[in-house]
Amino acid sequence: MTLFTNRLVIVSGCLLLSACGAWEHIPPPTPQGQKAFAAPDRSTRFSNISAVEAFKTDTQNITDYLLYDGDDINIEVIGRPELSGMQRIGPDGKVTLSVVGSVSVRNLTREQAAATINQALSPYYLNIYTTVRVEHYNSNRVIIIGRVEHPGELQFNTPPNLLDILAQAGGMPLLRKEQVLTRCAIIRKEKILWIDLTRLLTGDTSLNVPLQRNDVVYIPDATDTSVFVLGAVNAPGVFRLTPQMSFMDALAGAGGLTKDGNSHAIHLIRPSANANMQIDISDLLKPNGQLNVAINEGDIIYVPRHTISKIGYMVQQLNPFSTLFTISQLGAVIP
């Protein structure tokens, strides 16, 4: 073989290897990247007991039902049938009476509403006495959203607890098979309370929080939190994040590495922290528990191919004539 041919073969091999590098570019690990993958404090997923008690106190302070927009009330003015009858409280919180016009009853008890109507009628009538009765508690509602069978508005005549609402939402609650019930949020005006539903549904009644009108109950689905395992694994794809999921859990869920996978340079990428950690599987076999880090929502595990696998892949993409030529020339060069 001539010197020119030998150089041509070497150059071709270099080009082939450089093409492999261009075909699969992996960014280098970030300095001190492992710190970004420390196991999170799972207790922060739920509100502390003081926040739970504060929500209970809010409800306990409400002793009488307060009228609100949409409620149907029966106003009875004794001896005055022309002033009596059914009224629906409007979106402005008012009812309309003959002679006096609009009267605001929003956020008043029955007794307060009756006294307000008496006061409004007293300039026109003598010895007025009024009673107010609630016929339909239309404003007494809780809204439930998220992964339940029957999301939407739920009405009630008596103040419900969280379990009451979950039961009405479907089978306490009836979720699809792929969904996992772990926690829920109670949103009350500007406050939010996160409840550990696993504890609640297994008997911890201290978390059965009483609810108020217009509370919003939100039940997220574990499938809303995903991790991605890509590259040279047997079953790449999107996987549901489970509590306390570790690096090895996610990798095992993807079926482990293929024969072409590079077990010495697996990348764990956390876009939310701009962190990239390189992991060697052989290090996980050593007594160093810190490497089996916790996985968070949105994490990406990428398994690159071995360099030899890359070369084999690139050779397969060449046409048969150039492949035979390259192999034969490489064989001629290698002693």
| Same domain, residue pair 151 and 177 | yes
In a domain, 45, yes or no: no
**Cα dist. 182→149, 177, 194 in Å?**
16, 14, 10
Instruction: Please check whether residue 195 lies inside any domain of the structure.
Output: yes
- Whether residue 124 is found in the same domain as residue 194: no
Least confident of 127-141, 211-225, 261-275, 299-313: 299-313
Q: Of the residues 198, 222, 246, which one is the last residue of a structural domain? A: 222
Question: Which domain CATH number covers 249?
Answer: 3.10.560.10
Distance (Å, whole) CA 201 – CA 175: 14
Structural domain contains residue 331: yes
Which tens digits make up the pLDDT trace of 160-185?
Answer: 899 988 888 875 554 444 455 678 88
Most confident of 72-76, 213-217, 296-300: 72-76
Given a cut of 80, is residue 309 above it in pLDDT?
no
Q: Is residue 64 part of a domain?
A: no
Structural domain boundaries enclosing 192: 140-222
Residues 148 and 125 in one domain: no
The count of domains in the chain is 4
In this structure, are residues 105 and 66 in contact, taking their beta carbons and an 8 Å threshold? Answer: no
Helix (H) or strand (E) holding 19: helix 3-23
Closest CA to 300 of 267, 256, 254: 267
Tell me, yes or no, whether 99 and 145 share the same domain: no
**Last-in-domain residue among 172, 189, 222:** 222
What DSSP character marks residue 305? B
Last residue in a domain, options 178, 204, 222: 222
The answer to whether residue 118 is domain-embedded is yes
CB 212 within 8 A of CB 143: no
Mean pLDDT, the chain, integer = 77
**DSSP label at residue 206:** G
Tokens coding 208: 């059965």
Indicate whether 112 and 175 sit together in one domain.
no
pLDDT in tens, 89-117: 999 999 999 889 999 999 999 999 999 99
| Within a domain: 174 | yes
In a shared domain, residues 80 and 144: no
Residues 16-64 have pLDDT tens digits of 444 444 445 566 777 666 666 665 554 456 888 888 888 888 876 677 8
Q: How many whole angstroms separate alpha carbon 250 and alpha carbon 292?
A: 11
Helix, strand, coil: what percent of the chain each, to 5?
Answer: 35, 25, 40
In the numeric block, the tokens 């006061």 are attached to 119
Could you give the CA distance from residue 222 to residue 227 in angstroms, rounded to a whole number? 11
Determine, yes or no, domain membership for 313. no
> Residues 174, 147: one domain?
yes
Instruction: Please report whether residue 63 resides in a domain.
Output: no
Instruction: Give the burial class of 293: count Cβ atoms within 10 A of its Cβ; 0-12 exposed, 13-18 middle, 19 or more buried.
Output: buried
